[in-house]
Amino acid sequence: MGLRLTNTLSGCKDEFVPSDPQHIKMYACGVTVYDKCHLGHAMQAILYDIFARYLRFKGYRVTYVRNFTDVDDKIILRASQLGISPLELSDQMIEASRKDMLSLKVRPADFEPRVSEYIPQIISYIQDLQAKGFAYAGQDGSVYFRVRLKEDYGKLSRQNISELRCGVRKDVEEGKEDPVDFALWKVEETPGATWDSPWGRGRPGWHIECSVMASEILGDSFDIHGGGRDLVFPHHENEIAQSEAKSGGTYARYWVHNGLLTVNRQKMSKSLHNFISIEDAVRDYGYELIRFNIYQYHYQSNIDFSAQGFFLGLSRLYSIYRTRQRVIDYITRNNLSRSETRHPEYLQAFCEAMDDDFNLPKAMVVIQSVLQSQNEIMDKKINQQNAEELLSMECLLQDVLPILEIGIRPPQEFFHEIHSRYLTLKSLTNDWVLEKVAQRVKCRTEKNFAMADEIRDELLAQGISLLDSREKTSWELSERALEELVAL
């Protein structure tokens, strides 16, 4: 079964047919590097990275492009405030962004072009548009795109040009023939962020960069173009207009748009003080919890981050790693060898979920079911058939979890990280806990259950929960402890 994708252009979930059956070309709008990246960027980067990984998993060759916008009003403003050049600022921010992505386990795109590296191509692109009559130099010297000449303008966002209220939020630039026109080249002199052009010194407009970089790297037509919902209009609409005006053909064939990130159901914004940087979030919650939370929602809807969601996620992650550890122990104890067979039913279920418009919540259900089945098997008495079943599930998980980049660390590393974070928070030590556990073990062997229970209660009051098995007593964090760890 093939992939189906919700295509903003058609408004439907369409069968995805790449123009080259072996090779998928994908472009996603990256960040404008005027500040540190926030969780919304993380979410977008994680999603498209997963799309690329999954398509590769399915056997496609994928070329994935994600740009950096390093020429922009906000960068110029910020840089002048900081007393550095715009490109210095964007260099720093790109470096920070790369670090952020690494910490989230997001793989770099195959191409990560920067606007400043494509100025000559942008200029000749605009010249071509000018030759075709779609671009004109306005009275102020800047170059604009003649929107009304593109008769299908508005097809992506379903906007009607005559209904647009121009200048509602921003003053209309002088020099345009028509208020709906948008800038391709802005004439101005900003140190460090301007280049010579046939129209004078200046810099590219807001939308031209993606059209140019996408076509330079992927060609005039490619398969998937993605970005946040908030880019549909005007950014993507304008990209289509420019690109198709220039090439005369179809630009991106499928447009996918992810929802935005909310914090406690409110859009994340600096003015609401709910702005979370990737750096802070990774430090406070860990990359897996951030990813887990994203996977609870379909990519098209807004994804909410809240203490409740993080708590739920951490409990589930905890549980995932408990099972991961249990499987490792089980395999070692029973001296089982690796399986080369991926459990066929679960593999199919996983692929069906992902093929259905990258339905991550559904895919996560499959993962949970696999883990549950593994536990079920390990609860039973071992036999040949059980063991094979378990191993094929394990084989599947080892192939599929890396796509999601979740549950693949050594479990002890995960537990150690969470536990030490908690112990530090509560000023407790690992030795203290172990001492208490040892005391209790002694009480239990002496059948002094009253004392044993007392120690257990004492630990529980500190957020430490005990697990007695036949061989040993181990400890982990209680629900309340997990809750405390993720309080926003």
Partner RNA sequence: GGCGACAUGGCCAAGUGGUAAGGCGAGGGAUUGCAAAUCCCUUAUUCCCCGGUUCGAAUCCGGGUGUCGCCUCCA
356 binds RNA (CB under 7 A): yes
Beta carbon nearer to RNA, 5 or 347: 5
How far is residue 203 CA from its own chain's centroid? Answer: 30
Binding status of residue 322 toward RNA by CB under 7 A = yes
Cα 459 to Cα 416: distance, rounded to the nearest angstrom:
18
Based on the shown chain and the rule CB under 7 A, indicate whether residue 461 belongs to the binding site for RNA: no
Question: Identity (one letter) of the amino acid at 393?
Answer: M
Judged by CB under 7 A, the residue of 3, 93, 261, 485 near RNA is 261
Smallest distance, RNA to C-beta of residue 32, A:
4
From 365, 387, 408, 433, residue interacting with RNA (rule: CB under 7 A): 365
Select the residue interacting with RNA from 127, 264, 319, 439 (CB under 7 A): 319
CB closer to RNA out of 30 and 286: 30
Residue 206 near residue 182 (C-beta atoms within 8 A) = yes
Strand partners, 13: 6
Structure tokens at 75: 């960068």
Q: Which of residues 387-446 bind RNA (CB under 7 A)?
A: 444
Residue 277 φ/ψ, nearest 5 degrees: -80, 155
Q: Which is nearer to RNA, 52 or 371 (CB)?
A: 371
What pairs with residue 20 in β-bridges?
A: 23
CB of 428 to RNA, least distance (A): 18
User: Of residues 80, 85, 127, 157, which one binds RNA by CB under 7 A?
Assistant: 157
Whose tokens are 């809807």? That residue is: 301
With CB under 7 A as the contact rule, which of the stretches 95-103, 176-184, 336-344, 399-407 interacts with RNA? Answer: 176-184
What residues numbered 132-151 form the site for RNA, per CB under 7 A?
Answer: 147
Contacts of 162 (CB under 8 A, 6+ apart): none
Full DSSP string of 222-289 = EEEEEEEGGGIIIIIHHHHHHHHHHHSS-SEEEEEEE--EEETTEE--GGGT---BHHHHHHHH-HHH
Query: Which string of x and - marks every residue 226-255 that binds RNA (by CB under 7 A)?
Result: -xxxxxxxxx--x-----------------
The separation between CA 92 and the C-alpha centre of its own chain, rounded to angstroms, equals: 21
State residue 237 phi and psi, 5-degree precision. Answer: -60, -45
Hey, what are 106's tokens?
């997001």
Closest approach, Cβ 417 to RNA, in A, equals 19
The only residue of 469, 471, 472, 487 in contact with RNA, by rule CB under 7 A: 469
Site for RNA in 2-31 (CB under 7 A): 6, 11-13, 29-31
Of the candidates 383, 449, 458, 461, which one interacts with RNA according to CB under 7 A?
Answer: 449
Question: Total residues contacting RNA (rule CB under 7 A)?
Answer: 88
> Going residue by residue from 262 to 301, which x/- string records binding to RNA, judged by CB under 7 A?
-----xx---------------------------xxx--x
Rounded Cα distance, 52 and 184, in Å: 31
Residues 326-355 that bind RNA (CB under 7 A): none
Pick out residues in 73-102 that bind RNA (CB under 7 A): 73-74
Positive or negative: CA dihedral 224, 347, 366, 325: negative
182 binds RNA (CB under 7 A): yes
Q: How many CA atoms lie within 13 A of 429 on its CB side?
A: 3
